[in-house]
Amino acid sequence: MAQSKTRKLVEDLKRSLRERARINIGLTPADVREEIPAGKGRGLASSTSSASDAGGIASPLTEQPGTRTNYVERYVFSTDGVFAIAHQPVLQAAFTDAVGREVKFNYADPDA
């Protein structure tokens, strides 16, 4: 009895694998495209640019003293309520990049 169940299980598995093999044919071949000929070329610069007109931030950044603004003071309490820590999250900080431009970082409200 156990041998017949085992034999039937093996036959069912083999049949299932054959059916699955018919289903999973694979990808269809890609369309044949025209080859791109090998060649030699060079890029052409559109204009000479420096860090001052490139539009990015020139590293390093230096924080300007006295320009940092904060959110209102908040308190964090310990789980037992005995201790409270007051802190003011940063709202905005102003920096100067290597070229002399002002860069402002605006931070999201951490409790929002």
Residue range 82-92, pLDDT digits in tens: 999 999 999 99
Q: Is residue 67 part of a domain?
A: yes
8-state DSSP, 10: H
**Phi, psi (5° rounding) for residue 55?**
90, -5
Residue 33 lies in a domain: no
pTM above 0.75, yes or no: no
Q: How many domains does the chain have?
A: 1
Listed residue (41, 47, 110, 45) closest to 74, CA to CA: 110
Q: What is the pLDDT of residues 8-55, one digit of tens each?
A: 888 988 888 877 666 666 777 888 888 888 877 777 766 655 555 556
Answer whether residue 73 is part of any domain.
yes
Q: Flag whether 79 is in a domain.
A: yes
Structural domain containing residue 79: 62-106
Residue 31 lies inside a defined structural domain of this protein: no
With respect to residue 78, please indicate whether it lies within any of the assigned structural domains.
yes
